[in-house]
A and B are shown apart, each in its own frame.
Chain A
């Protein structure tokens, strides 16, 4: 392939991926009267008004806080529960491993719509409607398959000698897990943490069903139900979208290799 063709192809792929975001960013800088005129493509009188109004006239700060808390709690819980299971599956002598892993894999294929109605009734019964916990409980469960698969692979890759040496030194299986294997699996843990966080940050169906007010509403629901008085407030929606996209772009650029490692560990080896 010639250099020119190659460069052209890169430019095309990049434009394909980034183009819609650039347009969203441009829209977010336009004052409302400029939204309804095209051309010009670029804002003639760029403004940050939309960004300010997202926080001033809408409870977007609270919504971001809800999402951050839900996603963080989910990540911590999913890693805690998942790493224990993954350790047992990789290093301990328990029966029915293959069956358990097959079950875990099948959970990852559950259509969310299939559990949303019974879970809604359960959550209503427990009085957890419109709380962070309803979402944390659900997200933790549905992110466990990914966590268990990736971490089982990582724990398996750690040589048995290391684990056995820890036992010989007098560690209980739990101490061997916490002091020896967990630190060695840190790259896998961080890859998993990023994926679980992104999953919980983005989830929509459960969030739409289980939350009803700004008390627990998360970003996807906040953006989907963005209130407008007469028409859809496109400039404000664009500003809100840009605000929630920036942290994701930062995470993706910082941890690109980890994310791909995690995704492929979950898919290629699994």
Chain B
């Protein structure tokens, strides 16, 4: 390759500028906002240092939102990975019609989350919804504190399992078929092959999928905001929804930014956690 010319840096300049203006600068701005008491209507802005962050842990609504977010993340991601793995193993064995089935599986992933949330809200309708009709029950899915969060999880699982399944199918394709043959000749059973060959070889991609899904679930907004609006009585309010409400409905930009900053730091920690496991695995 030719030697470095300063002209070569011009190629990445546009990206660097865009990243600076739309991600780095706003992030610094967010940090600055989060250290202030700032109200958009009254034009108040006062430096309060860490007061907003200290207040977080005495704010019961914040703690509930944190609990809701963790519950949503853990349950939906575990279900998605399990179900996604089952579908992937199945798709991998499919010999005919794989293209069409893959395309069908992609559809829930590709439609706007808002559309799927509206679709499911109608399916969950207590009076005229298809679910109650088919199950022969009269449950107010989105109106009951117990069901609402699980109903939201169910919708999220429906929407994102396809994505998980397709990525895992791609991972399965990378496993050489000789390995299966050799194991079978050695007399290994189906379950043994899955546990001792498929799962360990699939581990890196499972971790990558886990990383993406955990982060996505932790910052969930549209799915729940449209499906339940955070109700009933705040039982489905996640951190992103709470931050959005504080920011754009009560216009408390200081405190809202502190919640947003907290979400940012959690997501950062989650990714550092997964990336470190991934790196350890490759060494």
Show the binding face of A for B, using Cβ within 8 Å.
1, 6, 9-10, 13-14, 16-18, 20-21, 23-24, 27, 35-39, 41, 80-82, 84-85, 87-89, 91-95, 100, 103-104, 106-107, 109-122, 137-138, 140-142, 144, 148, 160, 164, 167, 173, 177, 198, 201-202, 204-205, 209, 219-221, 223-224, 226, 234, 237-238, 241, 244-245, 248-249, 251-253, 256-257, 259-260, 263-264, 267-268, 270
Residues A85 and B14 in contact in the complex (CB < 8 Å), given A20-B123, A36-B128, A264-B167 = yes
Contact: A137 with B22, CB < 8 Å?
A: yes
B199 at the A/B interface (Cβ < 8 Å)?
no
Docked Cα-Cα span, A224 to B215, in Å, equals 24
B106 at the A/B interface (Cβ < 8 Å)?
yes
The SS class assigned to the A binding surface is helix
B59 at the A/B interface (Cβ < 8 Å)?
no
B56 at the A/B interface (Cβ < 8 Å)?
no
Residues A117 and B30 in contact in the complex (CB < 8 Å), given A9-B90, A109-B267 = yes
Docked Cα-Cα span, A10 to B102, in Å, equals 11
Nearest-neighbour CB distance to chain B for A161, whole angstroms, equals 12
Contact: B107 with A115, CB < 8 Å?
A: no
B170 — nearest CB in chain A belongs to which residue?
A264
Residues A117 and B114 in contact in the complex (CB < 8 Å), given A85-B11, A88-B11, A144-B15 = no
Contact: B112 with A113, CB < 8 Å?
A: no
B162 — nearest CB in chain A belongs to which residue?
A17
Contact: B248 with A204, CB < 8 Å?
A: no
What 12 new A-B contacts, CB under 8 Å, besides A204-B114, A204-B225? A24-B122, A38-B130, A84-B15, A95-B4, A107-B23, A113-B240, A117-B247, A117-B253, A204-B112, A224-B114, A224-B226, A267-B205
Enumerate chain A residues within 8 angstroms of B170, measured Cβ to Cβ. Answer: 260, 263-264, 268
Contact: B22 with A116, CB < 8 Å?
A: no
Segment 189-226 of B: residues with Cβ below 8 Å from A? 205, 208-209, 212, 215, 218-219, 221-222, 225-226
Nearest-neighbour CB distance to chain A for B119, whole angstroms, equals 5
Which residue of A17, A94, A107 is within 8 Å of B104 (Cβ)? A17
Contact: B105 with A13, CB < 8 Å?
A: yes
Enumerate chain A residues within 8 angstroms of B115, measured Cβ to Cβ. Answer: 220, 223, 241, 244-245
Contact: B93 with A119, CB < 8 Å?
A: no
Which residue of B99, B110, B240, B263 is within 8 Å of A251 (Cβ)? B110
B187 at the A/B interface (Cβ < 8 Å)?
no
Nearest-neighbour CB distance to chain A for B275, whole angstroms, equals 9
Which residue of A1, A100, A118 is within 8 Å of B29 (Cβ)? A118
Nearest-neighbour CB distance to chain B for A215, whole angstroms, equals 19
B259 — nearest CB in chain A belongs to which residue?
A113
Docked Cα-Cα span, A252 to B239, in Å, equals 32
